Amino acid sequence: MRAARGPAAPGHDPPTTAETTSTDVDTEFSRFAAANTMSLLRTAYLLTGDQQLAEDLVQESLARTYLSWRRLHHRGNAAAYTRKVMYHRQVSWWRRRKVAETLTDTMPTTPAPGRDLALELAIRQAVLRLHRAHRAVIVLRFFEDQTETEIAQTLGLSRSTVHHKLQRALKRLAELVPELRGELS
* Averaged pLDDT of the chain: 79
Global pTM exceeds 0.75: no
From the number of C-beta atoms within 10 Å of its C-beta (0-12, 13-18, 19+), residue 139 rates as buried
Residue 115 has pLDDT above 80, yes or no: no
Question: Would you place residue 120 in the very low, low, confident or very high pLDDT band (cuts 50, 70, 90)?
Answer: confident
CATH 1.10.10.10, the chain: domain bounds: 109-185
Task: Assign 3-class secondary structure to the chain.
Answer: CCCCCCCCCCCCCCCCCCCCCHHHHHHHHHHHHHHHHHHHHHHHHHHHCCHHHHHHHHHHHHHHHHHCHHHHHHHCCHHHHHHHHHHHHHHHHHHHCCCCCCCCCCCCCCCCCCCCHHHHHHHHHHHHHCCHHHHHHHHHHHHCCCCHHHHHHHHCCCHHHHHHHHHHHHHHHHHHCHHHHHHHC
Q: What CATH number is given for 109-185 in this structure?
A: 1.10.10.10
pLDDT in tens, 129-184: 998 889 999 989 988 889 999 999 888 899 999 999 999 999 998 899 888 877 76
169 with 130: CB under 8 angstroms? yes
- Let me know: does 136 contact 47? Beta carbons within 8 Å: yes
